[in-house]
Amino acid sequence: MIVCKSPSEIERMRAANALVADVLAELGAMVAPGVTTKDLDAAAERRVRERGAEPAFKGYRGYPATLCASVNEEVVHGIPSARRLVEGDIVSLDMGVKLNGFFGDSAITVAVGDVSDDVRRLLRVTEEALERGIGQAQAGGRISDIGHAIQQHVEGQGFSVVREFVGHGIGASLHEEPQIANYGEPGRGPRLAEGMVLAIEPMVNMGRPAVKVLADGWTAVTRDGSLSAHFEHTVAVTKSGPLVLTRAASRVR
Ligand code: MF3
Ligand code: CO
* Mean pLDDT, rounded, of the chain: 97
- Euclidean distance between CA atoms 233 and 186, whole angstroms: 21
- Euclidean distance between CA atoms 6 and 45, whole angstroms: 30
Mean pLDDT of 101-121: 98
Most ligand 1 atoms within 8 A of CB, residue of 77, 92, 216, 233 to mutate = 77
Q: What is the pTM of this model?
A: 0.97
The 3-state DSSP class for residue 119 equals helix
Mean pLDDT of 62-71: 98
pLDDT in tens, 162-195: 999 999 999 999 999 999 999 999 999 999 999 9
Q: Which residues hold their Cβ within 5 A of ligand 2, which is an ion?
A: 105, 199
Contact status, residue 107 vs residue 75, Cβ threshold 8 Å: no
- Measured in Å, residue 226 CA sits from the centre of ligand 1 at 22
Contact status, residue 106 vs residue 21, Cβ threshold 8 Å: yes
Pocket of ligand 1 contains residue 60 by CB under 6 Å: yes
Q: Give yes or no for residue 252 having a pLDDT over 80.
A: no
Burial class (CB in 10 A: 0-12, 13-18, 19+), 121: middle
Kindly state the percentage of the chain with pLDDT values over 70: 98
Q: Give yes or no for residue 198 having a pLDDT over 50.
A: yes
Q: Give yes or no for residue 249 having a pLDDT over 80.
A: no
pLDDT in tens, 202-229: 999 999 999 999 999 999 999 999 999 9
Peptide bond preceding 178 in cis form (omega within 30 of 0): yes
Which pLDDT does position 248 carry in this prediction?
80
Spell out the residues 6+ positions from residue 157 whose beta carbon is closer than 8 angstroms to its own: 121, 125
Nearest to 13 by CA among 198, 180, 241: 198
Q: Give yes or no for residue 136 having a pLDDT over 60.
A: yes
pLDDT-derived band at 250 (thresholds 50, 70, 90) equals low
Pocket of ligand 1 contains residue 98 by CB under 6 Å: no
Q: How many residues does the chain have?
A: 253
- Euclidean distance between CA atoms 21 and 15, whole angstroms: 10
pLDDT in tens, 29-62: 999 999 999 999 999 999 999 999 999 999 999 9
3-state secondary structure 134-180: HHCCCCCCEHHHHHHHHHHHHHHCCCEECCCCCEEECCCCCCEEEEE
Pocket of ligand 1 contains residue 105 by CB under 6 Å: yes
Mean pLDDT of 152-168: 98
Pocket of ligand 1 contains residue 199 by CB under 6 Å: yes
Contact status, residue 203 vs residue 76, Cβ threshold 8 Å: yes
The 3-state DSSP class for residue 212 equals strand
